[in-house]
């Protein structure tokens, strides 16, 4: 469908919602139409680009929030659970208290792991945990060329084991994953030399 056809379909959907006594608010309609306009203006547009909640933070807020997330991950705690616990127990969340005061639960629920990809990478990236869902590239098991007959494809899977390996002066992390068909694969150097070959679900 062309963007114009999508816009026409949206207008028809708005009318159907009205006829079914389930009208969308003006704001909801505007958001949907704005996404269509963004698609028209950028052929490489991805919906995830327009809806990254981290983009809504000021630079100072973003820095404080990313630091908080990094510390929580290093302590093997889930940052989102930590914030929710603070909120439920009405405890102060320190330097990220602004999340609760200015953005709230709806904003927090919108934040997904892949949103961090835009702001962190390599050593500063979030660490995987057992149970995380990721996508891996076929370049891990076959020869892939960007413009060749065998191009990059992404496959969903789950992290089932993480192992820190020390080999003399160097250390790296191996990760065991399980595909949804039951097959398993070990990815060596998942943060070091294979970071390019996995991502959070898009």
pLDDT by position in tens, the chain (length 202): 676 777 788 888 888 888 888 888 887 787 777 777 766 666 555 554 557 899 899 989 998 998 898 888 777 778 888 999 999 999 999 999 999 999 988 898 888 877 877 776 545 556 788 888 889 999 888 887 777 777 888 899 999 999 988 888 888 889 999 999 999 999 998 888 888 888 877 6
Count the Cβ atoms, other than its own, within 10 Å of residue 84: 15
How far, in Å, CA of 62 to CA of 120, rounded? 11
**128 domain-assigned:** no
**73 domain-assigned:** yes
Residues 63 and 36 in one domain: no
How far, in Å, CA of 78 to CA of 108, rounded? 13
Residues 13 and 32 in one domain: yes
Tokens 């009208």 correspond to 23
Mark residue 185 as left, alpha or beta (left: phi above 0; alpha: psi -120 to 50; beta: remaining).
beta
Residues 119 and 137 in one domain: no
**86 domain-assigned:** yes
Instruction: Quote the longest CA-to-CA distance of the chain.
Output: 70
Domain interval for residue 20: 3-45
- Count the domains in the chain: 3
Q: Given this model, what pLDDT does residue 39 score? A: 66
- Provide Rg for the chain, Cα atoms: 21
CA distances from 166 to 4, 6, 65, 189 (A): 56, 53, 31, 11
Residues 141 and 163 in one domain: yes
How does 28-55 read in b/e, with b if 16+ C-beta sit within 10 Å?
ebeebeebbeebeeeeebeeeeeebebe
Residues 32 and 69 in one domain: no
């Amino acid at each position: 469908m062309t963007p114009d056809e999508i816009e026409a379909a949206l207008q028809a959907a708005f009318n159907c919602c009205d006829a079914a006594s389930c009208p969308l608010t003006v704001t909801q309609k505007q958001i949907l139409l704005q996404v269509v306009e963004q698609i028209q203006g950028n052929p490489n547009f991805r919906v995830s680009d327009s809806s990254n909640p981290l983009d809504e933070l000021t630079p100072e807020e973003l820095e404080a929030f990313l630091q908080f997330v990094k510390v929580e991950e290093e302590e093997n705690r889930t940052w989102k659970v930590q914030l929710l616990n603070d909120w439920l127990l009405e405890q102060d969340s320190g330097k990220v208290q602004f999340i609760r005061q200015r953005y709230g639960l709806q904003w927090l629920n919108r934040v997904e792991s892949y949103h961090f990809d835009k702001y962190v990478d390599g050593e500063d990236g979030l660490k995987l945990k057992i149970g995380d869902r990721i996508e891996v590239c076929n370049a891990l098991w076959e020869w892939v060329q960007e413009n060749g007959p065998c191009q990059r494809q992404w496959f969903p899977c789950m992290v089932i084991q993480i192992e820190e390996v020390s080999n003399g002066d160097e250390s790296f992390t191996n990760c065991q994953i399980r595909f949804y068909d039951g097959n398993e694969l070990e990815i060596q150097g998942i943060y070091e030399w294979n970071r390019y070959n996995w991502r959070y679900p898009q």
